[in-house]
Amino acid sequence: MALGLEFHSDILAPAIINGLATASLYGVLGVSLVLVYRINRSVAFVQGGMATVGGFLYWFLTKDPLASQFATKGWPKVPAIGVVVIVGAVLGALYGSVVSNRMASYPRVTVTTFGLGAALFVVGLTGTIWQGVFETGIPGPFTGQVRIGSQQVSYHQLFSLGVLLVVCAALTVVMKATRAGIYVRAIADDSEAAEIVGIRVSAVGTAVWAVAGGLGALAGALIVPLAVLYETALIFVLMRALAAAVLGGFESFALAVAGAVVFGMVESSVGGGVFGTVNAGVREVILMGALLVGVVVINRKRLVSTVGGE
């Protein structure tokens, strides 16, 4: 198979900027996946449902009703973002109360499968409520552009990147320097021992799911201004976020962000024509190849450091 790759340096800078914006969206969702895994030891496929709710709810709340066939609200965009995060947090807490209480002793693969079913249920329900939605050009909470060097960067791109950096930094500090972080790490190490020493495992688990639900819904709201909104669109974004989380073994916020950056850069550069015309199949091969190489390299370094520590 001849790829016939070229190199167009004139569109490299815009591709890098778009890649960083895309990475920030994958990264917010990827960080939420890592957060849940660290306390629940399950893969939170349900975050795809949270992102779908967030994306559709943001569109529903902010779309001008005079320009829509649906009874949308036309709210200001910044308050709508706040409502989206709150709704995501409430849904996350409700889901977390189930998996952290009634399903606490279930095998992790069962909990993971339950999350996948919940995500598909939410996606189907959303598509039923807003059947036929296919929206492009949804405005972000901040419109306009600013010039950085020779490139025009949208405020939405900068806002999305800022959200990722703030979320990642805040969660890192919380996990390392607060009582809540100590509780989460203790539960991740041994939930039974944590309960014996007085940690309310179910309450902490529910709180973590609430935070993750808010982040998932926020990611969905930030993604739709840069994508096409339809029933299953955000499930594909979840796949990218999962791949980013896999790069860090679902343990490291920083590595999840790094994985998101790799995916965002490669996807934007290859899909944006930096290397000439590349079809979707070849793009996926390149993306998955980058993922596999990253996983092997990172795990080899972990193995070397573990052996060296012994």
CATH classification at residue 173: 1.10.3470
The reported pLDDT for the residue numbered 149 is: 62
Higher-pLDDT residue of 148 and 165 is 165
The pTM assigned to this predicted structure is 0.86
* Model confidence at 296: pLDDT above 90: no
Average of pLDDT values for 3-32? 74
Could you tell me if residue 4 is inside a domain? no
Distances (CA, A) of 110 to 104, 196, 242: 11, 25, 18
Q: What is the pLDDT of residues 152-192, one digit of tens each?
A: 778 888 898 889 889 988 988 988 889 988 998 888 888 88
The reported pLDDT for the residue numbered 6 is: 66
Domain that holds residue 72: 9-309
Q: What is the pLDDT of residues 67-95, one digit of tens each?
A: 888 889 999 999 999 999 999 999 999 99
Q: pLDDT class for 275, splitting at 50, 70, 90?
A: low
Q: What is the pLDDT of residues 19-38, one digit of tens each?
A: 777 788 788 888 899 889 88
Three-class secondary structure assignment of the chain: CCCCCCCCHHHHHHHHHHHHHHHHHHHHHHHHHHHHHHHHCCCCCHHHHHHHHHHHHHHHHHCCHHHCCCCCCCCCHHHHHHHHHHHHHHHHHHHHHHHHHHCCCCCHHHHHHHHHHHHHHHHHHHHHHCCCCCECCCCCCCCCEEEECCEEEEHHHHHHHHHHHHHHHHHHHHHHHCHHHHHHHHHHHCHHHHHHCCCCHHHHHHHHHHHHHHHHHHHHHHHHHHCCECCCHHHHHHHHHHHHHHHCCCCCHHHHHHHHHHHHHHHHHHHCCCCCCCCHHHHHHHHHHHHHHHHHHHHHHHHHHHHHHC
The mean of the pLDDT values for the chain is 83
Distances (CA, A) of 300 to 23, 258, 296, 297, 307: 25, 17, 6, 5, 11
Could you tell me if residue 180 is inside a domain? yes
Q: Of 291, 234, 222, 281, which Cα lies nearest the Cα of 260?
A: 291
* Model confidence at 60: pLDDT above 90: yes
The reported pLDDT for the residue numbered 74 is: 92
Could you tell me if residue 1 is inside a domain? no
Average of pLDDT values for 228-240? 83
Position 206, amino acid: T
Could you tell me if residue 3 is inside a domain? no
Number of domains in the chain: 1
* Model confidence at 265: pLDDT above 50: yes
Could you tell me if residue 223 is inside a domain? yes
Position 184, amino acid: V
The reported pLDDT for the residue numbered 299 is: 62
